[in-house]
Structure 1
Amino acid sequence: MVAISSKFTLAEYLSYTDGTDTRYELVQGELVAMAQPTGVHGAICEFINDAFRPEIQQLQLPLISKQELIAVQTLYINNKITCRIPDVTVITLEQWESIKFCEAVLKETTPLLVVEVVSDGSRNIDYRKKRVEYNAIEIPEYWIVDFSDRKVTVLILKNDLYEEVIYGDQNKIQSELFPKIQLIPKEIFSI
């Protein structure tokens, strides 16, 4: 991943274009190019997003699940902003309505659940940096899906800290947001 080193404000980030299809996250005021995901990465994101949608409908929850479309402002330190774009984001319909006709960035509210699919270049970022950032803004549930290690780590916010449970191939994933979801890592990784 390549960083563009001049410091950007949120407004500059939202209006930035370099004439390419490159997507960027804003990390402490610097643009960081997001690597093009592999086909497996994209298929896993799609599979999980597609698994969340029937849960939302079945439980009649006022929620929406989006794949790689919503940025989340996670940090604001010394006038340096960080905005991440999770692989899958679950938000309320009210949040969706507030960003539907403008840049899709949650600035003052947090998602209910985010999913990051680990790739070789993002391992440290997904397991460490984003965990700290998502904890700081109190995202209640964070999934880390690791294809290489064939595991799903589910982090649930309890008393201001994440408690993690690691699910292997045959273990049914337990979600607080979707308590009835029938999903095991083996299904996710067999796409």
Structure 2
Amino acid sequence: MIQTITKPISFDEFVAWYPENADCKYELYNGAIIEMPLATGTHSNITGFITGELHVEIKRLKLPYSIPGACLLKPLDTEFGYQPDVIVLDKEEVAKEPHWPKESIVTLGSSVQLVMEVVSKTWHNDYMKKAGDYEVMGIPEYWIVDYLGLGGRRFLGNPKSPNLSIYTMVDGEYEVKQFREEDRIESGAFPELALTVNDIFNNP
């Protein structure tokens, strides 16, 4: 049985508490441990499909990138800790991380080439909190994969529809571009990636 902690804790305390071989994922929000709901089958399939496609590109182009199976991402000067659905790391930059390789923890935006979240019921975190934190960290590219169109109308328009949003760093700020249906995804980290939104959403 996993012991829960009710009082606010630091990121380091969260790392020390994190159970080995946990059946679910946990994230830290302002010192509070949050148990992440078990992903749906479609969510997991989309995550796996995108991971596989990016692995192919990394190998094909001999890019100095890696995709860890699990990774905690800590925004600067906060007591938050996220576990992205997919994170692409720069092998050279991640070697400068203070916790790496002893612990799979990333604290420097320069270590990250791309981070991706597949949207669930807690869409506010993906569109609002995480987007802001990733921007402050200087992470160059952030994908929000909203295959059910769960996000707010301010993000998806009205009527809402499924889409994939890519946030790209331009002059220290994110600019966002949305892709739907047969739109080909435009990725700065993987410019030759030949995928449409339907390729991703219909694959499962």
Normalised-by-shorter TM-score class = 0.7 to 0.9
* Corresponding residue of 1:91: 89
Give the CA RMSD over aligned residues.
2.0
Q: How many residues align?
A: 184
Relative contact order, higher structure (CA 8 A, sep 6+) = 1
* Corresponding residue of 1:128: 128
Q: 1:1-191 counterparts in 2 under 5 A?
A: 5-17=6-18, 21-67=23-69, 69-77=70-78, 81-95=79-93, 101-109=101-109, 110-120=111-121, 122-149=122-149, 150-190=162-202, 191=204
* Corresponding residue of 2:155: none
What's the TM-score, normalizing by structure 1? 0.88
> How far apart in 1 are the matches of 2:5 and 2:165?
31
> How far apart in 2 are the matches of 1:165 and 1:4?
39
Q: Secondary structure at the match of 2:7?
A: coil
Q: Which has the higher strand share?
A: 1
> How far apart in 1 are the matches of 2:8 and 2:49?
36
1:5/1:132 CA distance change after superposition, 3 Å: farther
Aligned 8 A contact 2:108 2:137 in 1: no
Q: Could you list the runs of 5+ residues in structure 1 that have no partner in the other structure?
A: none
**Could you report, residue by residue, the CA deviation over 1:50-90 in whole angstroms, capped at 9, with x for unpaired residues?**
010111112211101235x111111424xxx1111100000
Aligned 8 A contact 1:14 1:103 in 2: no
Q: What's the offset of the Cα at 1:7?
A: 1.7
Q: What's the offset of the Cα at 1:96?
A: 5.5
What's the TM-score, normalizing by structure 2? 0.83
Question: What fraction of aligned residue pairs are identical, expressed as a percent?
Answer: 29
